[in-house]
Amino acid sequence: MIDMRKYASENFITVADVREGPLQMKIVDVREGKFDKPNLVFETSDILSLNATNRKTLVRAYGFTSNAWISKEIELFLGEVPVDNEPKEAVIVRPISPPLTTAEKTAAAASSSDMNDDIPFPGKTTR
């Protein structure tokens, strides 16, 4: 059996995908995207490039570290964002999973900053 996903191009979610109604999605990964924007990857393998409005929404709900966003459910719906002082249709995110407490956000940030080069990896020597 061949997994055909490796031959498919990435499917970015667009306004057309939410025009008929909102989508509920679970975040499985957050990656560096193009144009200095993070990309959310969902369990469906669909991708959403985050604009500033959506990034701020998710930061408010789940904190500054993307590892805290994994497994969170969000809703994608049709909305508007200002572009050059004019409203433009856009995919907007709304958290479904409950927001993290301040303590949970702090703990997530601390756990991501615990990674450093002082930990030896196989094949790496320390002096």
pLDDT of 121? 41
* φ, ψ of residue 120 in degrees (nearest 5): -75, 140
CB neighbour list of residue 100: distance below 8 Å, 6 or more residues apart: 61, 62, 63, 68, 108
Would 122 be classed as within a structural domain? Answer: no
Q: State the burial class of residue 69 (Cβ atoms within 10 Å of its Cβ: 0-12, 13-18, 19+).
A: buried
Would 125 be classed as within a structural domain? Answer: no
pTM of the shown model? 0.80
75-126 pLDDT, tens digit per residue, is 999 999 999 999 999 999 999 999 999 999 999 988 876 555 444 444 544 4
Would 121 be classed as within a structural domain? Answer: no
pLDDT of 111? 85
The candidate with the shortest Cα–Cα distance to 44, out of 26, 66, 57, 65, is 26
Would 118 be classed as within a structural domain? Answer: no
Is residue 93 within 8 Å of residue 51, measured between CB atoms? Answer: no
Question: What are the E-state strand segments in 33-102?
Answer: 38-42, 47-49, 73-83, 86-95
pLDDT of 22? 98
Would 117 be classed as within a structural domain? Answer: no
Assigned token pair, 102? 């301040």
Would 123 be classed as within a structural domain? Answer: no
* Domain span including residue 42: 4-112
CA dist., res. 45 & res. 29, Å (int): 10
Would 45 be classed as within a structural domain? Answer: yes
How many domains in the chain?
A: 1
Would 119 be classed as within a structural domain? Answer: no
